[in-house]
Amino acid sequence: MEESDGQSIFNNKDECTLDYMNTNKLPQDHPCVIETIRKHYLNKPSPPDVPLKLDTDDDQDRSPGQTGVIFRLLKNQTKGFFVECGALNGEFMSNTIDLERKFNWGGILIEANPETFKKLISRNRKAWTLPACLSLEPFPTQVTFQMKVGDPGHSHIEGAAKTLQKPGIPGVDPDLVTVQCFPFYSILLAVGQTQVDFFSLDVEGHELKILKTIPWHKVDIKSLTVEWDHIPEGQEALIRFMEESGFIKIGAFDFLWSRDVIFIKDLINIH
């Protein structure tokens, strides 16, 4: 993984602004997009010797069950690389914290809710962190985002998701805010990592649209858990698309707080 050395890689650096990038729908591998993520959105992983700041110090799995399943599917892999989108505060309902603290994984944590991200970045996670959302298009976008202060797990981009409520409900939903989104592939390029061992995607209904932006022939993703129950197209559409993209459905979770489908790229090495 490497960061920008501070020298612009965009020839017309004066034009490399968010407005220019969004208005012109720059492709996801455009130097301006990559540089913008590196310089203005990426936060470095916390150093290894800096202790985590968790609300509780017990060894209990923070995920509803995804972490253990993925760890077994990947044959107890250590020092892997994850991406978690919908990372919340970095501890509560985290599908990656135990891979990090117990098995020396690193990765990327993406959380669009500005208030929740403040807590996430205070955790000293050993992963890159971004206060952004994943784009629903193969280019950067700005979107309207609904923060649910009382229920941050259901905060999401405004749209057709089933969990969308009218803004301004006292004590529940503040005014809508504008959030910058980047394509998944752009973020991988920004950290110099196109091989991902585990991708956790939970964005309250926009999962399939995000998956359709990924150039699958340019990335190597071993396994995914994808929340499906808010996707307007339904679980079957998700499974069909992932199978067309070279993945196999392994199983599904149906817990109180999580209804995910598990996909893996290669069954040959699973026992």
Say which CATH number the domain at 102 has.
3.40.50.150
Residue 132's domain comprises 13-45+63-264
Q: How many CB atoms lie within 10 A of CB 55?
A: 10
Does residue 247 form part of some domain? yes
For the segment 88-94, the average pLDDT, to the nearest whole number, is 90
Does residue 4 form part of some domain? no
User: Among 126, 143, 230, 234, which residue's Cα sits nearest to residue 180?
Assistant: 143
pLDDT in the model for residue 230: 77
pLDDT in the model for residue 211: 97
Q: At residue 159, does pLDDT exceed 70?
A: no
For every residue of 123-191, DSSP letters joined together read T--SSEEES-EE-SSSS-EEEEEE--TT-GGG-EESSS-TT---TT-TTT----EEEEEE-HHHHHHHH
Pairing status of strand 177-182 against strand 133-134: parallel
Q: Which amino acid is at 231?
A: I
Q: Output the six-digit token pair for 26.
A: 């720059």
Q: Output the six-digit token pair for 171.
A: 């004590």
* Longest CA span, the chain: 54
CB 182 within 8 A of CB 33: yes
Q: At residue 186, does pLDDT exceed 80?
A: yes
For the segment 4-12, the average pLDDT, to the nearest whole number, is 46
Could you tell me the end-to-end alpha-carbon distance of the chain, in angstroms, rounded to an integer? 31
Does residue 55 form part of some domain? no
Does residue 174 form part of some domain? yes
Q: How many domains does the chain have?
A: 1
CB 162 within 8 A of CB 141: no
Residue 166 CA to chain centroid, in angstroms? 25
Does residue 202 form part of some domain? yes
Q: At residue 167, does pLDDT exceed 90?
A: no
Between these two residues, 139 and 156, which has the higher pLDDT value?
Answer: 139
pLDDT band at 163 (very low <50, low <70, confident <90, very high): very low
**What's the pTM value of the predicted model, to 2 decimals?**
0.85
Q: At residue 41, does pLDDT exceed 70?
A: yes
C-alpha dihedral (104, 34, 131, 212), degrees to nearest 10? -90
pLDDT band at 10 (very low <50, low <70, confident <90, very high): low
Does residue 1 form part of some domain? no
pLDDT in the model for residue 48: 93
Does residue 57 form part of some domain? no
Q: Which residues does residue 94 pair with via DSSP β-bridges, in sequence order?
A: none
